[in-house]
Structure 1
Amino acid sequence: MFNESPFKEYSNYFNVHIIYVPSNESGADHPGESFDPEETPDALLSPITSADTYFNATYDSYGAHRRLFYEADGNYANQTEVKINSVLADNFPTYDQALILVNSDEYGASGGEFPMSYTGYWGPKTVLHELGHSMFNLKDEYYPGELFTEEAINMTRESDETLVKWKNWVGTNNVGVYQYTCDTGNCAEWYKPHQNCIMESINKSFCPVCTEGIIEKIHDLLPPINSFTPNNDNAISNAAFPLEFELNLIEPLPNTLESEWTLNSASFATNQDLVSIQEEDLTIGTNTLTAVIIDNTELLKVDNHETTHVSTVTWTIEHSTLGIESIESSNTTFTVSMYPNPVLDVVNLKFESDNTENVTVEIISIDGRKIKSETLTNSTVNSINLSALPSGIYLTNFYANKVLLATKKLIRK
């Protein structure tokens, strides 16, 4: 798994735990009941077998020979899911994604809440494909049938290269807008980004669009700040100078994280994990030191990604003529969405944060004049009327506690 991109770049973001669940027998059931044209009662793809396994691993599930699932169909799956949930609750309840491995050499797998894979030759690549479904919300890039078609990271009805959701990748590494093919069904209505992706054939790797989708999900699950010092658990008083502030970051390989430090709203350091503050750097009273961290990997081509996944640490330093009175800290992750952009009259801004109540947005003209200033309430869509502004390009600056967190470009039609 961690030899494949993007998992090899983001291996530091993963912990893998194995739970050994004993069964009375090895393998999986094969009742010989698939509807596949290539498998008939007189020409089975593999011998009919029955294996007493704890999660009742079964080929031919839902009528497809290669669909290896816990139970033959949904009528019994709920009973097995109780057993799966019980094993997870007893052994590792804080999991993000569980995967069931079946000790079998016969090719088979399935996605869903609890993906399942055989352990034969293509087992490792099959695991990646199924995790693509279950953990990262990717769609098959072979035509999966009408029941499994919907707008997704790597599936769309949009055929215009300038409008498709992966438009930033079109023309790079063979990314395009490719029509699905099929013998029956409505596949002509659906498009995919690549013709050489593991989501179509397991002997491939993830295409750039799927790679991007996986990284964005990783960002959703885990911010890059593992820890920082000083923190409120070891709050400092009467500290001696120089004061040291340190970030312990979860670094991709190679490291693509960027950090910007500000002290009292002025730039202080860039791309440093450790900074030192001298007494002459501080004013008497309250001082604010903030570190803003983003991931600037070339594996992403997301518009305005610098405001999509942003993590910050802020230290509040109380300084008097007697020295340092206290240092307190807070850690925040946030996203900002802005739409439509370009905008005709009204632009909608939504700010979401785990602990910041609100931020200030300033709309700046291209010559540096502040046009508007608004306060955005956390998790609320804020609408701003721009109909009085002339057409052109503007900048929107987002501030928390007077610290610049991010800048987005805004186009007024």
Structure 2
Amino acid sequence: MRRDVTAWVAIFWLAIPLALWAQEPIDVVTIHEGGDPARVIDLVILGDGYTIDEQDRFTSDARQLLDSFFSLDILGNYRDFMNIHLVYLASNESGADHPNDGIYVDTALDATYGTTIPRLLTVNRTKAQTAAAYAPDMDEMLVIVNDSTYGGSGSTQLAVTYNGSAMTAVGVHEYGHSFAFLADEYGGNDCYGGSEPGEVNVTIATERETIPWAVWIDPDTPLTQPDGEPGTPNGTPGVGIFVGGRYYDRCIYRPQESCEMRALYQGFCAVCKEQFVKRIYTFTDPIEGWTPETESVSVERTSGTVSFAVETREPVTKLSHQWYLDGEAIEGATDTTLLLDVSRLEPGTYTVSVKVWDPTELVRNDPSGLLSSEHAWSLEVTSVICGFSPRGLRFAPLFFLLFLLPLACLRHRRERHPWEPTS
């Protein structure tokens, strides 16, 4: 009996947090559909601090933020690589907690300012994940908080923004953290003394050959200040190593003088844009399917043309395609479908392959080949002997080979080259 009571007590205490975390949304709506959730990025936008009567405001805020996202070349060009879902949550009160001012409100995701600094706006991650799970799928979450006080935050898979006048810019910046794993590029402290950072947009390297984004730096771009200290002088166009980043004013460097990760409304630098595109391609592949579905294809030489095709997900700027036969590019074969005339091929085994890649100028450094994909088939072309395929003759009885086959050959020859008497 004691064991049963203990079990029920355990279930009771486990059920309390689950009940708190599992607020059921009042609605879930997909407002942009790019494709199969298994092959695209599913971004779930949630609202916190919106009461039941303020859900229209959440819809308006979410659509405004989405329009801002798709106005960027890095996201607008790949809009069909995303599904966007809205999860509607009704809070009992509007706004967010402001502990420093003694303000506490009852909201669905516990939005709170001042977690470490006054403008840092966070939500309860577990509650957000539980609510986002009601969407068809979830790869990234973005929470809009119904509060006019400037603030936001970004961590893995979770971006948060307020809904005031700079909502769209803050949302884009925080998405740079949560989706692209970008570092803040503004300063604050004196000299960075740590090891090489993990984010792609900051470095301590000052030698041209060791700088992570060296492929973006023109040979004539200076990497030292007039006083001889490392760093590209301010005012220099393009990519270099500009002093300051990741909350430090010295001893660490960023790719360009201005960037959205340093100050709002500046647009992302070339290195940050590249990271966005590469992250998009970690969720999808340039080739999503192919026909024939089998890896080996066998056809008779008299079959005429054989069709090969790939299914791709195309950005606005389109992908490039090239078909090959035994490693040699087929002239003019640059579409998603190849019609191969096998009557021109000698009997034998060939390799038919296709390469698909994104030729975007936004990416220069892709050592893992995220932006390209290949698929190949083994093609067997067989000959026809007197109207019979050799595959059909392999196990023919001896009398057939010695007697019937010559007759069939004669008939086959007469059909192809009929004899007509001359007058």
Fold equivalence (TM over 0.5): yes
Q: Which amino acid aligns with 1:216?
A: K
Larger Rg: 2
The residue number in structure 1 matching 2:278 is 216
- TM-score, normalising length from structure 1? 0.64
Cα offsets for 1:41-60 (capped at 9, x unmatched): xxxxxxx5322111100111
Cα offsets for 1:77-101 (capped at 9, x unmatched): xxx3332232233433x42211112
Moved more, 167-176 or 222-231: 167-176
8 Å CA contact 2:202, 2:254 repeated in 1 = yes
Q: Of Structure 1 and Structure 2, which has the larger fraction of its residues in helix? A: 2
Q: Of Structure 1 and Structure 2, which has the larger fraction of its residues in strand? A: 1
Alignment pair present for 1:178 and 2:242:
yes
The residue number in structure 2 matching 1:102 is 145
Secondary structure of 1:314's match?
Answer: strand
- TM-score, normalising length from structure 2? 0.62
Change beyond 3 A, Cα 1:282–1:97: farther
The residue number in structure 2 matching 1:373 is none
Inter-partner Cα distance in structure 1 for 2:152 and 2:84? 20
8 Å CA contact 1:28, 1:57 repeated in 2 = yes
Change beyond 3 A, Cα 1:151–1:159: farther
Q: C-alpha displacement at 1:188, in angstroms?
A: 1.5
Alignment pair present for 1:157 and 2:204:
yes
Alignment pair present for 1:135 and 2:179:
yes
Cα offsets for 1:302-328 (capped at 9, x unmatched): 2767x56431122233443368x9xxx
Change beyond 3 A, Cα 1:148–1:211: farther
Alignment pair present for 1:289 and 2:352:
yes
Inter-partner Cα distance in structure 1 for 2:151 and 2:196? 21
Secondary structure of 2:210's match?
Answer: coil
Change beyond 3 A, Cα 1:20–1:158: same
Inter-partner Cα distance in structure 1 for 2:82 and 2:347? 44
The residue number in structure 2 matching 1:81 is 125
Change beyond 3 A, Cα 1:95–1:134: same
RMSD: 3.2
**Among residues 96, 114, 121, which one is paired with 1:68 in the alignment?**
121
Inter-partner Cα distance in structure 1 for 2:258 and 2:140? 26
Q: Counterparts of 1:189-228 in structure 2 under 5 Å?
A: 189-228=251-290
Structure 2: segments with no counterpart, 5+ residues: 1-68, 222-236, 392-423
**Among residues 53, 56, 69, which one is paired with 2:107 in the alignment?**
53
Secondary structure of 2:311's match?
Answer: strand
Cα offsets for 1:364-386 (capped at 9, x unmatched): xxxxxxxxxxxxxxxxxxxxxxx
Q: C-alpha displacement at 1:246, in angstroms?
A: 2.1
Change beyond 3 A, Cα 1:285–1:181: closer
Q: Which amino acid aligns with 2:322?
A: E
Secondary structure of 1:124's match?
Answer: helix
Q: Counterparts of 1:231-246 in structure 2 under 5 Å?
A: 231-232=293-294, 241-246=304-309
8 Å CA contact 1:105, 1:120 repeated in 2 = yes
The residue number in structure 1 matching 2:16 is none
Secondary structure of 1:228's match?
Answer: strand
Q: C-alpha displacement at 1:20, in angstroms?
A: 1.6
Inter-partner Cα distance in structure 1 for 2:88 and 2:196? 35
The residue number in structure 1 matching 2:77 is 9
Inter-partner Cα distance in structure 1 for 2:373 and 2:139? 21
8 Å CA contact 1:5, 1:206 repeated in 2 = no
The residue number in structure 1 matching 2:316 is 253
Alignment pair present for 1:268 and 2:330:
yes
8 Å CA contact 1:285, 1:319 repeated in 2 = yes
Change beyond 3 A, Cα 1:56–1:127: same
**Among residues 166, 169, 174, which one is paired with 2:216 in the alignment?**
169
Q: C-alpha displacement at 1:290, in angstroms?
A: 0.7
8 Å CA contact 1:166, 1:209 repeated in 2 = yes
Change beyond 3 A, Cα 1:264–1:186: closer
The residue number in structure 1 matching 2:292 is 230
Inter-partner Cα distance in structure 2 for 1:292 and 1:102? 45
Give the count of matched residue pairs. Answer: 295
Q: Which has the higher contact order (CA 8 A, sep 6+)?
A: 2
Q: C-alpha displacement at 1:274, in angstroms?
A: 1.6
Cα offsets for 1:253-292 (capped at 9, x unmatched): 222x222211233322442222101232444354321101
Inter-partner Cα distance in structure 1 for 2:197 and 2:249? 11
